Each structure stands twice: as C-alpha cells, then as structure tokens.
Amino acid sequence: MPTIRTKGDQRGRRFDDDVLLHSGNSPPHEESMVEIVHLASFKRRQAARRGFKAWLRRFSEPLDEETRIADLSDRTLAFLISPGEENIFLLYELVMGVKDLGTSSDFFNLDRALKMEVIDISIYVLDQLRFECMRRLNWLASDCLPRLSLVELVEYYPTLTGDGRRMIPALGASHPNYETYTRLSEFEKETFVRKQIPAAIERFKSGLKA
C-alpha cells in the first residue's frame, strides 16, 4: 500500500484512504472519488475515537486512526502485553469500538459469532503487540511486523487469509537460542518463537524498571 509523506507528518498517510490531491477543474468522476475517500477517512477517524476512548483514559499519549503498534511508547506496550484482564478488555474496547459494537461491557451481550470474532481479532492484535516487544529487544530477524495502523489491523482482519493472520516472524541471530532455532523445521520454528514470548515480556518489562 503506497504512502505519501508530507512535511511534519513522519508516519505518512495511506493514499487510498487519506490523501487524494485534485484541482478545482477535476472531472465529475474524480470529484466523486474524492468524496468517497473523504467519507472513508471520516469513518476511520470516528472508529479510532470509539476504539481508543478507554485507551486515552488509561494511557497518556496521543492515539488516532494512524497510530501503529510501532508508535506506542514502551510503557504502553509493556502494559498491553502483560497477562491480565485489564489489558484484554482494553483490546476488546479497541476491537468493539472500531467495529461499532459498543464497549467491552457489552461483550457478553453479543451473539456467539460476534463474540468469537472479537476474541479472534483481539488475540491477533495481542500477537502483533508481543512481536513488537521482541522486535524492540532485537530478537527478530527483520522488521516484518504489520505496517498498518491499529485501527486498520482490526478493520482488515476479516479479509486476511490463513498465512496473513498467522505469520510468525523469524528469530534473529542476536537471540541467545538462535543456533537451536536454525536446526528446527519451519513448523517447529513457529512454535519455538512463540515459546520465547514469556521471556521477552519479562526482559522487556525489567528493562523499563532499570
């Protein structure tokens, strides 16, 4: 997905949803496209306001429709990847807000299919947050984490197919168990990376305390 970077905008804006330059002499069909893009951009801003309402009360940092996982502060990331109910319900707040399903307090009133969808997307986002923790520890081979915003991760999840949902990043050579990792099959490598998550969380949080 191409991006356009403008002065003062370090994160860039996605062409298909946010930025579409046109002149006053644009043909009617181009003006219609502009209206569609502006409407999509407005809807995404509204989705972000709903999804981040509880996050903004909990975290003292800016959050909007363009906020990516990589933009989160270390302390916010540490809280979100820690085991516990509060962080899980914050993920529910994000997912349900973006999808306009209410707040986490409405979760138990959803029908079974919607509950499973909220849970699936929340787990997917949690995985990406934990991989970001490993990336910041320099435990991953490359920056292969999603470039989409948090709102887009929720929006686009239903369109992702198997591998896109389950993609596990490769372990980096700087990890202490890298030699063991290289001798494993591809399936075993995925399991091995996941087994490093608890140690990664502990190391990441201990680094904040130091």
pLDDT per residue as tens digits for the range 76-109? 999 999 988 889 999 999 999 999 999 999 999 9
Identify the pLDDT of residue 197. 95
User: Which of 145-172 are b and which e, b meaning 16 or more Cβ less than 10 Å from the residue's Cβ?
Assistant: bbebbbbbbbbebeeeeeeeeeebbbbb
Top-confidence residue, 66 or 39: 66
CA distances from 177 to 181, 183, 195, 196 (A): 6, 11, 11, 9
CA 27, 31, 34: angle at the middle one, nearest 5? 140
Top-confidence residue, 10 or 166: 166
Identify the pLDDT of residue 32. 72
Identify the pLDDT of residue 8. 41
Q: How far apart are CA 151 and CA 94, in angstroms?
A: 8
pLDDT per residue as tens digits for the range 7-50? 344 444 443 444 333 445 556 566 677 777 678 889 999 999 99
Q: How far apart are CA 41 and CA 21, in angstroms?
A: 14
CA distances from 51 to 23, 30, 65, 80, 151 (A): 34, 31, 9, 15, 8
163 confidence band (pLDDT: 50, 70, 90): low
Query: Would you state the structure tokens that stand for residue 133, as one six-digit string?
Result: 């923790």
Percent of the chain with pLDDT over 90: 65
Q: Is 140 helix (H, G, I), strand (E, B) or coil?
A: strand
Identify the pLDDT of residue 27. 61
Identify the pLDDT of residue 102. 94
Query: Would you state the structure tokens that stand for residue 190, as one six-digit string?
Result: 């995925």
Identify the pLDDT of residue 6. 35
Identify the pLDDT of residue 146. 64
**Which spans in 82-196 are helix H?**
85-98, 112-136, 150-156, 162-166, 178-182, 186-195
Identify the pLDDT of residue 168. 86
